[in-house]
């Protein structure tokens, strides 16, 4: 018989505080200057093209090297109002740093993300804002969703003189930055401090606990407002498609990360002794590492393909492994094992690619014991948000938009994870919101 061992308080409060401290401590002033001086300040800088928000990276780094931190922060925030969060969570190794000229020369790119954090943190500590609103346009725009795309859109609309009303389903703003990112990436309530900075512009009204399709209808918003921007994210999660998937001990990773991020006492959170995470993206990495940091003895991340096909970057995979997470590739879950209604393990089939490059089972099976299983295999658009209203066109499970971020519904724009504009990243959502705001502004004029 397999022993089920799920409990809280495996580690002391002191150990938990250490485990969930800032995973990547910021640069100090001396290190920042040294790092900034490593930049070649390329004229035709490839790092700018690699940044979804097109921040002038050489320019903001040059200003750090000369001690002009306020000017550096201005360069960043003018393009990316959530530059502080993006400095913490962006996969810079595949974006700006991956394109850095130094990366191609000696595989030691300039630490652009850390320099961006240094500049933005320095400015946020001043409690100032250099943004000013244009003269009021008299127009009101409904922004549905207070995550990165919604806040970016609302801020740019406010700068342009419009009045934005943000409808957020939860208690707090910032979306996945607040509810869905590992706690060790955004310490000291940074997500909410960034929200406070964004709202300083004025002209942004916040209405929380307003869920689209339930508390507010899209049809009503279209009638009441001059334009509507949808940034509803992806509220549903993919299932494993296995029998008895709802048994005790099997959880959605995003729900558990939300619980962990909102917890005031980590010692009260239960954690299994043997944890299996199914998935290969950032969410899978986050829940696996956090399970280990909460005191799980054995954490395994199982993925059906190889490391090159994982959505998690090589740096995230390396981070998980250095934090004690075992990664098993080429295994796909086939059935859940349980005793007395609680999961005890998973039967996996070994996978391979056929001559045409398609995934197939080998017929070889492996059993892994577990008292907790996390599903982290992607999220879906929640159809219920359009309850009682006409739906915009959906393509590939996401809202279909044109190059101006307009949906098929007149007067309705969309952006962020709920559309297919690029990778589901905070930085891409910020850019979506910014571009949609500019599009709305052009249309309203």
Does pLDDT of 30 surpass 60?
Answer: yes
Looking at residue 426, what DSSP letter applies?
H
pLDDT, one tens digit per residue, over 180-236 is: 999 999 999 999 999 999 999 999 999 999 999 999 999 999 999 999 999 999 988
pLDDT averaged over every residue in the chain: 95
> pLDDT value at position 67?
95
Cα dihedral sign, 261-262-267-271: negative
Alpha-carbon gap, residue 39 to 88, rounded angstroms: 20
Give the per-residue SS3 of 236-298. Answer: EECCCCCCCCCCECEEEHHHHHHHHHHCCCHHHCEEECEEEEECCCHHHHHHHHHHHHHCCCE
- Note the pLDDT tens digit of each residue in 362-406: 999 999 999 999 999 999 999 899 999 999 999 989 999 999 999
pLDDT value, residue 181 = 93
Q: In the prediction, which pLDDT does 236 show?
A: 86
pLDDT band at 441 (very low <50, low <70, confident <90, very high): very high
pLDDT band at 1 (very low <50, low <70, confident <90, very high): low
CATH 1.10.1060.10 fits 37-124, yes or no: yes
Q: What are phi and psi of 370, to 5 degrees?
A: -160, 145
Most distant CA pair in the chain: distance in Å?
Answer: 71
* Sequence-distant (≥ 6) Cβ neighbours of residue 180 within 8 angstroms: 254, 257, 258, 261, 283
**Residue 326: which region, alpha, beta or left (left: phi > 0; alpha: psi -120 to 50)?**
beta
From 3.40.50.300, 3.40.190.10, 3.20.20.70, 3.50.50.60, which CATH number describes the 6-20+237-375 domain?
3.50.50.60
What's the CATH number of domain 140-235+381-444, 3.40.50.2000, 3.90.1150.10, 3.50.50.60, 3.30.390.30?
A: 3.50.50.60
Residue 113 has pLDDT above 60, yes or no: yes
Supply the pLDDT for residue 235: 86
Task: Report the phi/psi class of residue 416: left, alpha or beta, with left for phi > 0 and alpha for psi in -120 to 50.
Answer: left
pTM: 0.95
How confident is residue 237, by pLDDT bands cut at 50, 70 and 90?
confident
Q: What is the mean pLDDT of residues 119-139?
A: 94
* For the chain, percent of residues with pLDDT exceeding 90: 91
Q: What are the residues whose beta carbons fall under 8 Å from the beta carbon of 194, sequence distance 6 or more?
A: 82, 84, 85, 124, 174, 177
Q: How far apart are CA 83 and CA 75, in angstroms?
A: 10
**Dist CA 45 CA 109 (whole Å):** 13
Contacts of 118 (CB under 8 A, 6+ apart): 26, 27, 32, 64, 69
Task: Identify the band that residue 26 occupies on the pLDDT scale cut at 50, 70 and 90.
Answer: very high
Domain regions of the chain by residue span: 6-20+237-375, 37-124, 140-235+381-444
Summarised one tens digit per residue, pLDDT across range 275-285 is 999 999 999 99
Whether 140-235+381-444 and 6-20+237-375 are alike in CATH topology: the answer is yes
Give the residue ranges of DSSP H helices in 308-425: 314-322
What burial class does residue 399 get, using C-beta atoms within 10 Å of its C-beta: 0-12 exposed, 13-18 middle, 19+ buried?
A: buried
Q: Is 167 helix (H, G, I), strand (E, B) or coil?
A: strand
What is the three-class DSSP state of 434?
helix
Cα–Cα distance, 142 to 293 (Å, whole number): 40
Phi and psi torsions of 106, nearest 5°: -135, 15
Q: Count other C-beta atoms under 10 Å from residue 131's C-beta.
A: 18
| HSE toward the beta carbon, residue 13, CA cutoff 13 A | 3
């Amino acid at each position: 018989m397999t022993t089920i061992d799920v409990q809280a308080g495996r580690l002391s409060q002191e150990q938990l505080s250490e485990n969930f401290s800032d995973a990547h401590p910021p640069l100090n002033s001396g290190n920042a200057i040294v790092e900034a001086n490593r930049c070649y300040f390329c004229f035709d800088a490839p790092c700018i093209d690699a940044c979804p928000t097109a921040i002038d990276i050489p320019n903001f780094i040059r200003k750090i090297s000369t001690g002009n931190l306020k000017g550096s922060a201005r360069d960043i925030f003018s393009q990316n109002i959530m530059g502080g969060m993006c400095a913490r969570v962006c996969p810079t190794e595949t974006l700006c740093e991956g394109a850095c000229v130094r990366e191609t020369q000696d595989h030691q790119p300039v630490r652009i993300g850390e320099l961006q954090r240094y500049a933005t943190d320095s400015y946020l500590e001043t409690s100032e804002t250099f943004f000013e609103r244009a003269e009021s346009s008299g127009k009101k725009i409904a922004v549905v969703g207070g995550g990165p795309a919604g806040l970016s859109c609302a801020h740019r609309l406010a700068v342009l003189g419009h009045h934005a009303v943000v409808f957020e389903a939860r208690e707090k703003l910032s979306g996945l930055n607040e509810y869905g990112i590992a706690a060790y990436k955004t310490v000291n309530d940074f997500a909410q401090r960034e929200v406070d900075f964004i709202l300083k512009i004025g002209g942004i009204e916040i209405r929380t606990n307003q869920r689209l399709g339930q508390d507010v209808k899209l049809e009503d918003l279209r009638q009441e407002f001059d334009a509507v921007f949808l940034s509803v994210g992806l509220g549903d999660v993919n299932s494993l498609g296995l029998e008895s998937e709802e048994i005790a001990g099997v959880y959605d990773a995003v729900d558990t990360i939300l619980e962990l991020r909102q917890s005031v006492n980590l010692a009260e959170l239960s954690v299994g002794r043997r944890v299996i995470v199914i998935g290969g993206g950032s969410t899978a990495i986050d829940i696996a590492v956090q399970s280990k940091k909460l005191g799980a003895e054995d954490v395994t991340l199982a993925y059906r393909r190889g490391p090159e096909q994982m959505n998690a970057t090589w740096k995230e995979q390396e981070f998980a492994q250095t934090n004690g997470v075992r990664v098993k590739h080429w295994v796909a879950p086939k059935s859940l094992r349980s005793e007395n209604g609680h999961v005890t393990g998973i039967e996996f089939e070994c996978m391979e690619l056929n001559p045409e490059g398609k995934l197939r089972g080998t017929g070889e099976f492996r059993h892994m014991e577990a008292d907790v299983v996390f599903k982290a295999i992607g999220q879906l658009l929640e159809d219920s948000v359009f309850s009682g209203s006409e739906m915009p066109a959906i393509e590939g499970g996401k809202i279909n938009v044109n190059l101006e971020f307009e949906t098929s519904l007149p007067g309705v724009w969309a952006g962020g994870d709920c559309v297919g504009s690029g990778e589901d990243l905070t930085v891409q959502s910020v850019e979506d919101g910014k571009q949609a705001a500019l599009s709305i502004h052009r249309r309203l004029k």
